[in-house]
Amino acid sequence: MSKALFIVDVQNDFTEGGALGVDGGDAVAAAITRHLAEHAAEYALIIASRDWHDGDSDNGGHFAVGEPDYVQTWPVHCVAGTEGADYDPGLDTASVTHHVKKGQGRPAYSLFEGTTDEGRTVGELLDEHGVVDVDVTGIATDYCVRASALDAIDHGRHVRILTDLIAGVAPDSSERALAELGHAGAEIVTSAP
């Protein structure tokens, strides 16, 4: 049985000081780096996703034209090739086996909606490597972490949410997301053994 690690959207625009900065984002980046230093060899795949939006469009209504509603529409963020779309500097990506870009002209929350630069999907990569178990980390608990974990469950994987390696937009919505994930079959655990 193979295991994968998902690192969801640990990007400058989602950590402190970014366009949609989440409290605790920098700390999550550093904690994931420590986790990788100790556990990278345990994973057959380490997949990191990034929002990667077009700078010259509203990305299918994802970027608000007027005031964002912070549900379906958002301020401009993670524009392809900008510093905001870069990984947080606290995240060491040296052991990442696959980088996935999602968005690219349309709304996208789940890591499964992205592709590698070679056009490979996450589902294909998991199948190819016989991955059964997936550990999920990243930002934000209540949006892209939630969507990625639910998709992994839908793809028949056993999912663990590593709660010390995630950060959410708001405490209430993050709590609801974790409850939903637990109900869907995910294990809600910490990264410590």
What are the structural domain ranges in the chain? Answer: 9-189
Catalytic residue, candidates 13, 101, 102, 135? 102
**Residue 1: pLDDT over 70:** no
Answer whether 89's CB lies under 8 Å from 28's CB.
Answer: no
Q: What is the pLDDT of residues 146-193, one digit of tens each?
A: 999 999 999 999 999 999 999 999 999 999 999 999 999 999 999 986
Considering the entire predicted model, what is its pTM?
0.96
- What's the confidence (pLDDT) of residue 86? 98
Query: What is the percentage of the chain residues whose pLDDT exceeds 70?
Result: 99
- What's the confidence (pLDDT) of residue 192? 80
Among 72-76, 99-103, 133-137, the range scoring the smallest mean pLDDT is 72-76
How many other C-beta atoms are found inside a 10 Å radius of the C-beta of residue 81? 9
The reply to whether omega before 40 is within 30° of 0 (cis) is no
Instruction: State whether CATH 3.40.50.12280 applies to domain 9-189.
Output: no
Catalytic residue, candidates 3, 51, 144, 151? 144
Average pLDDT of the residues of the chain: 96
101 is catalytic: no
Catalytic residue, candidates 9, 88, 135, 151? 9
d(CA 106, CA 53): 8
102 is catalytic: yes
- What's the confidence (pLDDT) of residue 73? 92
- What's the confidence (pLDDT) of residue 42? 96
